[in-house]
Structure 1
Amino acid sequence: MVEKLLNIKDLHVEVDGKEILKGINLDINKGEVHVIMGPNGGGKSTLANTLMNHPKYKISKGDIYFEGERINDLKTDERAKRGMFLSFQYPEEVAGVTVESFLRTAKMAVTGEPLKILTFRKRLEESMRLLDIDKSYARRYLNVGFSGGEKKKNEILQMAILEPKLSILDETDSGLDVDAVKVVSEGVKLLADGEKSIIIITHHNKILQYLHPDYVHVLIDGKIIKTGDMSIAKDIENNGYEKYKEEVYQL
C-alpha cells in the first residue's frame, strides 16, 4: 500500500498582504520525487518557505498535512524534527562555526539524542566521500569562502546527515556549472532510497538531465496548472512557458 507523506489542500498564502499562492493542491507519497517548475515570481519559493513555516509567509486558507498530521501551526523546528528539510537557494555563511560542529548540533537537535564526536565524524566522512567532498571541509567555517557549487554540495551533505523524510530543494541547481550540477544530482540520487521523498524546485531542467522524477508540476501565478512526466520539462526546455501561461488565463 502506498503511504501518503505530504498532502496540501487548497493552499492560499500571502506575503505582506499580497496573495502569492492561490489554491495549491499536491499529494506526495513516500519514495516519490516531484519537480515543481515555473518562471520566476510564480510562487515556487513561496511554497517551499511556507512548507517550513517561514514567518514572512502567511496561510490565509487551506491545510498542510504531513504523515496525516495537520502542521499549519507547527513551528519550523517541530517540522524539522518530524522529518522535513529545506535546502536554501542562497546558503548563508556562518563564521566561527565549522561544518562538522554545525551538522552534529543539527543532527542532535532533530533526533533529540546525544551523539559522540568520533562516531559522528566517521559518519560525516563517509557521507563526504560519497558526495565527493574533501574531508578537510569539515573543519572549515560553514560556507565561508565556499564557491557556489561547494555551498550547494554542502546542502546535500546536510540532507545525507539529517536523513529527512521529505527534502525540499529550492533551486539547488541555480548558478552551477555543468560539473557541479552533475555532482549535486548524483548526491540527490544517492539519498533517494525509495522511502524518502524529494521536491525539486527549479525554473529550468539542467538538474533533470541526471534525475528521473515521478512527476513534474508547472506552477504559474500561484497555481499548479499542469502535472505530468518528464515530457513537460522537455517541452518547457524547447518552447518555454508561454503556452502554460496562456492556460492560467483560461482557468
Structure 2
Amino acid sequence: MAELLQVKDLEVSVEGKKILKGINLTINPGEIHVVMGTNGAGKSTLANAIMGNPIYTVDKGSIVFDGNDITEDAVNDRAKAGIFMSFQHPISVPGITVENFIRTAKSTITGENVRALAFKKELKAKMDELSFDAAYAQRYVNEGFSGGERKKNEILQMSILDPKLAILDETDSGLDVDAVRIVSEGVNRFHNEKNSVLIITHHNQILQKLNPTFVHVLINGKIVKTGDASLVKEIEEKGYDAYKELA
C-alpha cells in the first residue's frame, strides 16, 4: 500500500530561527502516529508545516501527500486534498455559526452542494456522539465556548469533513478527564483503515484511550526515537531528559 504521507529531510524555520532539523516521517493509511516531546521541541511546527501555514518556512526537504508533492501548496489546496488540522488554541469566528462554517467548509472541500436538511441531520448526530449540545450549532464559532467546547468543535469538524489525514495539535491540552474521554472516543470513531491520524502531544492522558501504531520522540527539532505504544510508558518512567543526548 502506498504511503499516505511522506516527510523527507524536512527543515523548517520560523522568522529566521531553525526549528525542525531534518525530519523523516512516513504515515500509511490506517495508522495512528503520536509525536511527543517537551514544549518548544518543534511538535506544533511539524503540524503547521504539513498543513502549510505560511508563517513556517520550509528550508529543505519535501512533503508528499497521497502521491503528490505538496511542499509548496497553499493551505486550502492541502485541505481539499484531504488534510485536516485541529488547533491547539482554536480561535472564535464572530458572525458565522458553527453549522454554516462546517457546511461551507464541506462544500468547499468536496466541490459539491451540501443539502441543508441532510447536513442538519448529520450535524445533530455527530454532536450527540460528542455530548455536544445541539444548540451550539446556531452559535458563532467558538464565541463564548469553554476550552472543552472548542476542542469538541474541532473534533466535530473532523468527523464531518472526513479527511484522509487528521492532525491533532495538542487537542488534549487543558481538558478535564471527561472531555479527554469524549474527544478520544471521537477520534476512535473517525479512524479507520483508509485514513490516518497524527497526534501531537506531551501528555499521555489521551493516549490511554487510543491505540497508537507508532510513537515518536521529538527533541530539539529531531525525531530521536520511534517505537510502538510501549514507548509512551518508557517516556513516563524516564522523562524526556533521557532522550536529549540523542538529539
Q: Could you say which TM-score interval applies, normalised by the shorter chain?
A: over 0.9
**Gaps (5+ residues) in structure 2?**
none
| d(CA) in 2 for partners of 1:204, 1:3 | 31
Q: CA deviation at 1:124?
A: 0.8
Aligned to 2:22: 23
TM-aligned CA deviation for residue 3 of structure 1: 2.9
Structure 1 outlier segments of 4+, above 2 Å = none
Query: Is residue 117 from structure 1 mapped to residue 108 from structure 2 by the alignment?
Result: no
Query: Aligned with 1:233: secondary structure?
Result: helix
Paired letter, 2:227: G
Q: What code does the residue aligned with 2:229 have?
A: M
Partner of residue 212, structure 2: 213
Task: Count residues with an aligned counterpart.
Answer: 247
Conserved? CA contact 1:204–1:237, under 8 Å: no
Match of 2:168 in 1: 169
Q: 1:237 deviation in Å?
A: 1.8
Q: Return the offset for 1:222.
A: 0.5
Pairing 1:91-110 to 2, within 5 Å after superposition: 91-110=90-109
Over aligned residue pairs, what C-alpha RMSD do you find? 0.8
Hey, what does 1:202 align to over in structure 2?
Answer: 201
Q: Return the offset for 1:68.
A: 1.2
* C-alpha distance in structure 2 between counterparts of 1:184 and 1:91, whole Å: 15
Aligned residue for 2:245? 246
1:235 is displaced (CA, Å) by 1.6
Give the secondary-structure state (helix, strand or coil) at the position aligned to 1:25. Answer: strand
Aligned pairs for 1:147-162 within 5 A: 147-162=146-161
> Can you list the C-alpha shifts for 1:24-71, whole angstroms capped at 9, x where unaligned?
000000010000000000000000111111111011100000011100
State the TM-score, normalized to the length of structure 2: 0.98
Please give the alpha-carbon distance, in whole angstroms, between the structure 1 residues aligned to 2:186 and 2:114.
Answer: 24
Q: What is the correspondence of 1:77-96 to structure 2 with a 5 Å cutoff?
A: 77-96=76-95
Superposed displacement of residue 115, structure 1: 1.2
The CA deviation string for residues 148-198 of structure 1, in whole angstroms up to 9 with x for no partner, is: 111101100000110000000000000001111111000000000221100
**Residue matched to 2:35:** 36
Mapped to 2, the partners of 1:25 and 1:193 lie a distance apart of 24
1:13 aligns with 2:33: no
The match for 2:67 is: 68
1:182-193 correspondence to structure 2 within 5 Å: 182-193=181-192
> Using the alignment, how far apart are the partners of 1:77 and 1:127 within structure 2?
24
Deviation at 1:227, TM superposition (A): 0.2
In structure 1, runs of 5+ residues without a counterpart are none
Specify the SS of the correspondent of 2:245: helix
Residue 239 of structure 1 and its aligned partner are, at CA, apart by 2.5
SS where residue 73 of structure 2 aligns?
coil
SS in 2 for 1:4: coil
TM-score, normalising length: structure 1: 0.97
User: 1:231 aligns to what?
Assistant: 230
Q: Which residue of 1 aligns with 2:180?
A: 181
Quote how far apart the aligned CAs of 1:126 are: 1.4
